[in-house]
Amino acid sequence: MEFFRIRKDIPFMKHALVLNAISLITFLAAVFFLFYRGLNLSVEFTGGTVIEVSYQQAADLGQIRDAVGKLGYHDVQVQNFGTSRDVMMRLPPLAGQTSGQQTESVMTTLKAANSEVELRRTEFVGPQVGKELAQDGLTALALVIVGIMIYLAFRFEWKYAVSAIIANLHDVIIILGFFAFFQWEFSLPVLAAVLAVLGYSVNESVVVFDRIRETFRKQRKMSPIQVIDHSITSTISRTIITHGSTQIMVLSMLLFGGPTLFYFALALTIGILFGIYSSIFVAAAIAMWLGIKREDLIRDKKEGNPDDPNHGATV
């Protein structure tokens, strides 16, 4: 399906060197901030107190968040669960206070604003549990990366596989770099978004590389650079349809999903934008510099006959 078709190929690879230099600088900056500042991990990873309360009517999450914020908590997770009257809060550890004292101070503040609020459940999440979640999350991320590497190694010739893997890692590190630089809260939903971006990015790379492979087979007189430019240009309509429709849904979560979905949608937005960019300028450019050519994809059908005068030649 295509909304439009560009007749003249766009010379993407003409600007590959400059754009990849910018990508390298951005990537190194992301790595620097990951080590220098680190991620602002949420309660799921660091441990803390989970409080569930219930109201007689629909709860005002913004008012609750402001009230809890006055107690010294910042970026507190406040969200509905089950119904609009039930609210769950995740509080990070506060120096000098136990979990029980945290619960008591929060309930005192909430009752001052609305005497009908009831405490349903309170639970302390220990740092050991958070550490296990962090380790499990990193393990899941590593397994996804390894799985993608294996898939690409079987799907494409090694030059394509290496290019796609570098592009995917480029996207993930830059997303994490944004969260480290701005100290946005890194929670389990954000980790899920990063894993989703990995799959999303590799899908875009596979589409571009499939078109490159197809063009190599059909256009025998084109140079590798011309093949890459033609292949990317021919997938632009599909890219706009796919990523545009996805981003519309993600944007609705970003604007109207509230604080609960904000960082999840933000991570997806960064991943979608950089996924498009990396598939075109990082993956394709690296494949070009690795020297992809038609002979990598199509072997001589007669190469099994050493007596044939054309033995070893390419079609």
> What is the C-alpha separation between 184 and 150, in angstroms, rounded?
32
- What's the pLDDT score for residue 48? 82
The answer to whether 89 and 109 have CB atoms below 8 angstroms apart is no
Residue 306's pLDDT is: 45
What radius of gyration, in Å, describes the C-alpha atoms of the chain? 26
Percent of the chain predicted with pLDDT > 70: 90
Q: Domain 12-39+130-296: which topology?
A: Multidrug efflux transporter AcrB transmembrane fold (1.20.1640)
- In this prediction, residue 6 carries a pLDDT of 75
Q: Topology of domain 48-125, per CATH?
A: Alpha-Beta Plaits (3.30.70)
Q: In a 3-state reduction of DSSP, which class is residue 41?
A: strand
Query: Is pLDDT at 173 greater than 90 in this prediction?
Result: yes
Q: Quick one: tokens of 149?
A: 């590497």
Residue ranges, CATH 1.20.1640.10, the chain: 12-39+130-296
* Model confidence band, residue 288 (pLDDT cutoffs 50, 70, 90): very high
Residue span(s) of the chain under CATH 3.30.70.3400 come to: 48-125
Among the listed residues 174, 199, 192, the one whose alpha carbon sits nearest the alpha carbon of residue 261:
192
The string of pLDDT tens digits covering residues 212-248 is 888 988 888 889 899 999 999 998 888 888 888 999 9
> Helix or strand or coil: residue 312?
coil
Q: What is the pLDDT of residues 243-254, one digit of tens each?
A: 889 999 999 999
Name the residue with higher pLDDT: 6 or 188: 188
28 Cβ neighbours under 8 A, 6+ residues apart:
none
Closest CA to 259 of 13, 104, 79, 70: 79
